Structure 1
Amino acid sequence: MRKYGPIPANDSAFEEHTGRAAKRAGVTPISFPHPRFAEVLACLTGESLVSVILTGTAGDGKTHLCSKIWEHLQGEAAVWASNNPYINLTLPSGTTLHVIRDLSAWVPPQGAEWELDARNLLEQFSDGLFSAQTSDYFLIAANDGQLIETWRRLPDSPAVSKARALFEQLLVEDQEEQPGVALRFFNLSRGSSAQLFDCAVDAFLNHPGWKLCFEGENGESVAFGPKSPIRRNYELLQTPLLQQRLRDLLELCDYNDLHIPIREILALLVNAVLGHSGNTCKDHLMVPADVPRIIAEGSVAKASIYNNLIGGNLRESRRESIGVFNYLDRFRLGHETTNRIDSILIFGEADEALQSYYDQYLGSDTFYGADASYRKAQSDYVESADEDLSNSRFLEMLVVQRRALFFKIPTKEATDLHLWDLTVFRFAGEYLERVVRTVHPNLKGRVDRHIVSRLVRGLNRVIVGMLINDDRKLCLGTSLQSTGAKVSRIYEDSISVVPSKGERVEIVWQGNKPALQVTLSEQISEVFPLNLVRYEFLSRVAEGALPSSFSKECYEDVLSFKSRLLTALKKRRKAEAVEGDEFILSFQRLRLDENGNPEHRTIQLNLPATP
């Protein structure tokens, strides 16, 4: 298991590396069907055969998926076990399947000459894509940047140029196929990290090797017995609440355009069970021989799964270098808190109003709750003088306990204890439950009107640059200088949030995430994709946060959306133009009343008609 973890040895041939390690240990590797396995297999075994390209980032499971296809098509195991990046077999249809399982190992190094066989094979593939008759099909695994670069380096020909343009278009436009081209293009980086987690955690927890550890004589040993942190972490990882909270975080990464490949999800699971923040374990990952010493020295709490899930056991530089921990760290889980949460953690044992929470979340947890070291540090912190409040040891413990609460607080108490205030994304829970899981195509629900209104209020404050309280209309304003001015006092128009005369503002599903759709007429509309950061930004601004201080990128995104809305407004005016309007020029100056509602005063100029 440790070979799948966040260890410094970053072997590029990960599939072969872990496979050899499993073989030496006499156990089976972690394995599960890739969510896209059936689709890829159908391309090579169905009635209409097509070639397949598997692309994506490193660790997306391209090589593993190739191995399962090879195995299903009854390719020889000895051939797959060879180091040759190119292998082939005869399909049931009598045609030939060419497998390039690692494109980077097949092409020559940068600056070197092409080998004739390698060049001819890729040119044959390029020709076959646009040929009506072919008996050769390909399965190619390549990182996305590497794929385009390879076809740029090939000697130019009509078929090579056409293939390169096709790959670029499929990547940029996120398409899987084009009519008339015998190719399916699977970008595995576009897959759901949450869905991959579901597959990976099931395969990880149900690996037969765990039974050998926890049953029989091994289960009575110190390393795997009742007091073992390895065993405790494994048991906690099986709890539905912890799995759901972790899945929520990964799903939010998906909707924040942060993809987590299979390799890093496995590293996360291994780190969750084996992680230890002390200096007694190599690479901060436990092995059975470490457990007796950890128990003897009283550092079991440093193996807390709640801390390991965020990579808290790893050095900062190591944590930042691994995508999944880098992304999870952006939630700032444990560094954000509320007065009530900290009161429970610091004073809960002595406060009757909070004692039940303290006992439930800390007192009853004999592994990672209020142990002797926590109580000692807590007492020192409470009794210290004001100038000594920077008790770093206890403050570090507080971070870990806040993380633990995020995974412990049951759903029924999540609202009361403001669960998502433990992260920097206070509206993340609402975004998941009441937006994503409402308008998703499988559910086709409608988002509550007050959520839409709050987002509109946030948009109004950014677009106009004033503290507008109106959330019933989307107000469009400009400046005499530019549409990107911080304050826009020239009123252009407003769009009704509630459907009225063809106008409406609503949250719809677009592509792979929700979006705010502003409809100006039945023929004219604009959409603003709502990833997690944008949703949080607009919600915070609606509550009074300064737009430019929260997120400069989101602020500029909204101003860009404002420009598109103003362009759409011009389109509508042109379609609705009335004869004689071209001789009337009017300005409407925007101001706010005492309640923050927009008012506008019209200044009209009558221009003489041109003879």
Structure 2
Amino acid sequence: MEKNSFVYYLDQFNVLSPNHSKIYDEYTSGTEFSEYNFTIKTKVQNQLISYFKQNPQNVILTGNAGDGKTRLCRVVYDELSNKKLNDWPEKGIIDIDFKFGTLRVVKDLSELKDDVILHQLKELQKSMLDKKRKLYFLIAANEGKLTKFISKYDELESLREEIMLRFESHYNNNEQLNLINLLDITSSVYVKEILNNWNREENWESCRQCTKIESCIIFLNHKRLSVDLIKDRILEQYRILDYLDIHITMRELLIHMSFTITGGLLCNDIHEAQYKELAEQSKKVYYENFYGENVKANAFVDMKAVKALRTIDVGVSSQSEVDDFIVNGDISGDEKLEKYHKKLFDEDLDMSYGYFTRKLKRYRDHNGVADNDFIDDWVQRLRRKFYFEAIDEIEINRRLLLPFQHLGQYENLFNNPREKVTVRPKLINGLNRSFTNRLVKPSQSLFATSQNLMIYDEFRGRTLEIKDQEGREDIDFIPSKFKLEISPEVKLQMNLYIFEYLMRVNSGGTHNVLSEEAHILIDTFKNDLLRISEPEEYVLNILRLDRETGLYVDDQIEL
């Protein structure tokens, strides 16, 4: 039986596999799959090496478990000591002599006992105050553990103040202490690099000699995920997570990409599959795996990327234009569409070797009576296939399948002053309607008001600025959101959820759509506006119902 060892390498990322622990940094050295290990050279990695080779300083790496803090510590050790670190010492602390003094690397603060943590943080505090010690620190620490610990001890007050300043803004970093929060890294940056590396032909060469290649869903997934168009669509999905402020760690990303390729299967499963198993394996095509279809419930705990992507699953929303193409595209009368329908829904493994097209014809011939469940069984799956594989030339908007109607406008706002001017009145109208839960007449002014319909102040449109998220050069980062700013103290962070909500409310949509994600931030912004408002002294400004239009308009009552 032919086996591809690369498939077994990918199995290390399967959260239900007994080999799963091997993906952790502590277990990566000298494994049987070392030939497949690859390094994504990140800006953080380059920055750290630059610090300790040219301008030594104390560094704290923070973020979530899986963000790669331990790996970065290993990279720094290897670079400064000119040798590979095979195993971390049991205590998790290692000193490196280098040309500027001694660098103490603490690979994971949360693994240490409290007395050891306290001692090391006191030492860091001393080094920050006295550079003559020539003892520098590189400490990896989960954000929650670090902030909770430093808040408990008065003797760490100086360090606590410095750390909290840096959590507020990376601009507060200096040579005394540099805090790099890996949560700030843009998750989507690494997606294509992983796909490109894992789909290199040399990783799959042995498959070409396999007798089961035509019935292997793993190999089919590899072929599809080697296509630039499909890689771009996967990147688009991850970019949407960026827009929603959802951070996916490097470990979670690797777990998800591995599952997208293999569906949790191994070569043994392919070779031993009988007819029924083969039918089930055909459902483990990449566009189903991507959203965790057919995933065992106990795997979801460790598959955060899948849980996040399910919130934007393109298979669940019915769009007549897309669904009509799926069901009737081959008899549409449009030669181009009919030809493409046949090409897209072909006789490959994910289409059960033409089973879908045969069942579709039977379904139509019998007006759906012969198999009522046929469409329900297939339609979500085929919407996903359409989203990832449909070419733009067929002029059916695949983005209709996304749960966001205004994604294109959101993307167009970046570095686009003209678009910002165009969108601003719509956002103002959305805010006015959201503040009051009423259909307020469109206005050039943002009203500081509440549900009692009193206007405490108004802010002319131009005072509301739409500002791009600031870029960063020290980490892999792409601006992904905006802020609506009246003043530095009064601003609303606007991600895609907020933007979509305001644009829908502007168009007359109901306030309950997306409100859970939006209303807390919008209410805070409204309260900040009320706080800086200066009501007029001798008049009362209100919103009143205009019965002719059915809209609320601003009006004035003399006192």
TM, length-normalised to structure 2: 0.85
Contact 1:272 1:308 in 2 (8 A): yes
Contact 1:427 1:536 in 2 (8 A): yes
Q: Are 2:352 and 1:358 aligned?
A: no
From 497, 504, 508, give the equivalent of 1:540.
Answer: 504
In structure 2, the partner of 1:245 is: 233
In structure 2, the partner of 1:24 is: 32
Q: Are 2:170 and 1:175 aligned?
A: yes
Contact 1:189 1:259 in 2 (8 A): yes
From 513, 518, 523, give the equivalent of 1:554.
Answer: 518
What is the total number of aligned residue pairs between the two structures?
A: 538
In structure 1, the partner of 2:199 is: 205
Per-residue CA shift, 1:547-568, capped at 9, x if unaligned? Answer: 1354134134323322323334
Offset of residue 168 of structure 1: 3.2
From 57, 65, 69, give the equivalent of 1:50.
Answer: 57
Aligned residue runs from structure 1 range 443-482, under 5 A? 445-447=417-419, 449-470=421-442, 472-476=443-447, 478=449
In structure 2, the partner of 1:221 is: 210
Offset of residue 428 of structure 1: 2.3
| Structure 1 pair 495–390 and aligned structure 2 pair: CA distance change class (3 A) | farther
SS at match of 2:439: coil
Offset of residue 307 of structure 1: 1.0
From 89, 93, 104, give the equivalent of 1:98.
Answer: 104
| Structure 1 pair 352–232 and aligned structure 2 pair: CA distance change class (3 A) | same
Aligned residue runs from structure 1 range 214-363, under 5 A? 214=205, 218-223=207-212, 225=213, 227-275=215-263, 285-294=264-273, 298-299=278-279, 301-319=282-300, 321-353=302-334, 355-363=338-346
Offset of residue 39 of structure 1: 0.9
Task: Judge which range, 354-363 or 422-431, deviates more.
Answer: 354-363
Per-residue CA shift, 1:163-182, capped at 9, x if unaligned? Answer: 133323323x1436445x62
Give, as a single letter, the amino acid of the residue that structure 1 aligns with 2:432. N
Structure with bigger gyration radius: 1
Offset of residue 50 of structure 1: 0.4
Give, as a single letter, the amino acid of the residue that structure 1 aligns with 2:356. Y
In structure 1, the partner of 2:349 is: 367
TM, length-normalised to structure 1: 0.79
| Structure 1 pair 360–11 and aligned structure 2 pair: CA distance change class (3 A) | closer
Give, as a single letter, the amino acid of the residue that structure 1 aligns with 2:435. I
| Structure 1 pair 455–596 and aligned structure 2 pair: CA distance change class (3 A) | farther
Give, as a single letter, the amino acid of the residue that structure 2 aligns with 1:73. L
Per-residue CA shift, 1:429-453, capped at 9, x if unaligned? Answer: 3322x12xx32xxxx6432544333
| Structure 1 pair 378–469 and aligned structure 2 pair: CA distance change class (3 A) | farther
In structure 2, the partner of 1:280 is: none
Aligned residue runs from structure 1 range 63-212, under 5 A? 63-77=70-84, 80=87, 82-93=89-100, 95-108=101-114, 114=115, 120-151=119-150, 156-157=154-155, 160-171=156-167, 173-175=168-170, 177-179=172-174, 182-206=176-200, 211=202
Query: What's the C-alpha RMSD, in Å, of the aligned pairs?
Result: 3.2
SS at match of 1:404: helix
Give, as a single letter, the amino acid of the residue that structure 2 aligns with 1:246. I
Q: Are 2:69 and 1:62 aligned?
A: yes
Contact 2:448 2:533 in 1 (8 A): no
Q: Are 2:49 and 1:41 aligned?
A: yes
Offset of residue 8 of structure 1: 5.5
Q: In structure 1, what is the Cα distance between the partners aligned to 2:88 and 2:542? A: 74
Give, as a single letter, the amino acid of the residue that structure 2 aligns with 1:126. Q
Q: Are 2:409 and 1:430 aligned?
A: yes
Offset of residue 311 of structure 1: 1.7
In structure 1, the partner of 2:495 is: 531
More helix by share: 2
Q: Are 2:8 and 1:4 aligned?
A: no
Offset of residue 596 of structure 1: 5.6
Q: In structure 2, what is the Cα distance between the partners aligned to 1:389 and 1:494? A: 61
| Structure 1 pair 381–318 and aligned structure 2 pair: CA distance change class (3 A) | farther
Q: Are 2:378 and 1:397 aligned?
A: yes
Q: In structure 2, what is the Cα distance between the partners aligned to 1:205 and 1:255? A: 27
| Structure 1 pair 518–389 and aligned structure 2 pair: CA distance change class (3 A) | farther
Per-residue CA shift, 1:460-487, capped at 9, x if unaligned? Answer: 32223322352x5134263xxxx3x2xx
Task: Judge which range, 292-301 or 529-538, deviates more.
Answer: 292-301
Contact 1:427 1:539 in 2 (8 A): yes
Offset of residue 249 of structure 1: 1.6
SS at match of 2:247: coil
Contact 2:430 2:502 in 1 (8 A): yes
Contact 1:491 1:590 in 2 (8 A): no
| Structure 1 pair 255–550 and aligned structure 2 pair: CA distance change class (3 A) | closer
| Structure 1 pair 174–294 and aligned structure 2 pair: CA distance change class (3 A) | farther
Q: Which has the higher contact order (CA 8 A, sep 6+)?
A: 2
Q: In structure 1, what is the Cα distance between the partners aligned to 2:123 and 2:541? A: 65
Q: Are 2:484 and 1:517 aligned?
A: yes
SS at match of 1:36: helix
Offset of residue 375 of structure 1: 3.5
Give, as a single letter, the amino acid of the residue that structure 1 aligns with 2:69. K
| Structure 1 pair 149–453 and aligned structure 2 pair: CA distance change class (3 A) | closer
Per-residue CA shift, 1:129-168, capped at 9, x if unaligned? Answer: 22242211111112111223444566x53xx222133323
Contact 2:128 2:176 in 1 (8 A): yes
Q: In structure 1, what is the Cα distance between the partners aligned to 2:369 and 2:208? A: 49
In structure 2, the partner of 1:282 is: none
In structure 2, the partner of 1:577 is: none
| Structure 1 pair 119–594 and aligned structure 2 pair: CA distance change class (3 A) | closer
Segments of 5+ residues of structure 1 without an aligned counterpart are 109-113, 276-284, 498-502, 574-580, 606-611
Contact 2:469 2:483 in 1 (8 A): no
Contact 2:420 2:466 in 1 (8 A): no
Offset of residue 76 of structure 1: 4.0
Q: In structure 2, what is the Cα distance between the partners aligned to 1:178 and 1:26? A: 37
Contact 2:542 2:555 in 1 (8 A): yes
Q: In structure 2, what is the Cα distance between the partners aligned to 1:446 and 1:527? A: 21
Offset of residue 187 of structure 1: 0.8
Q: In structure 1, what is the Cα distance between the partners aligned to 2:150 and 2:520? A: 36
Q: In structure 2, what is the Cα distance between the partners aligned to 1:81 and 1:490? A: 64
Q: In structure 1, what is the Cα distance between the partners aligned to 2:358 and 2:519? A: 46
Offset of residue 402 of structure 1: 0.7
Contact 1:515 1:527 in 2 (8 A): no
In structure 1, the partner of 2:4 is: none
Contact 1:35 1:196 in 2 (8 A): no
Contact 1:222 1:228 in 2 (8 A): no
Q: In structure 2, what is the Cα distance between the partners aligned to 1:9 and 1:18? A: 13
SS at match of 1:328: helix
Contact 2:345 2:351 in 1 (8 A): yes
| Structure 1 pair 286–589 and aligned structure 2 pair: CA distance change class (3 A) | closer
Q: Are 2:450 and 1:508 aligned?
A: no
Contact 1:547 1:555 in 2 (8 A): no
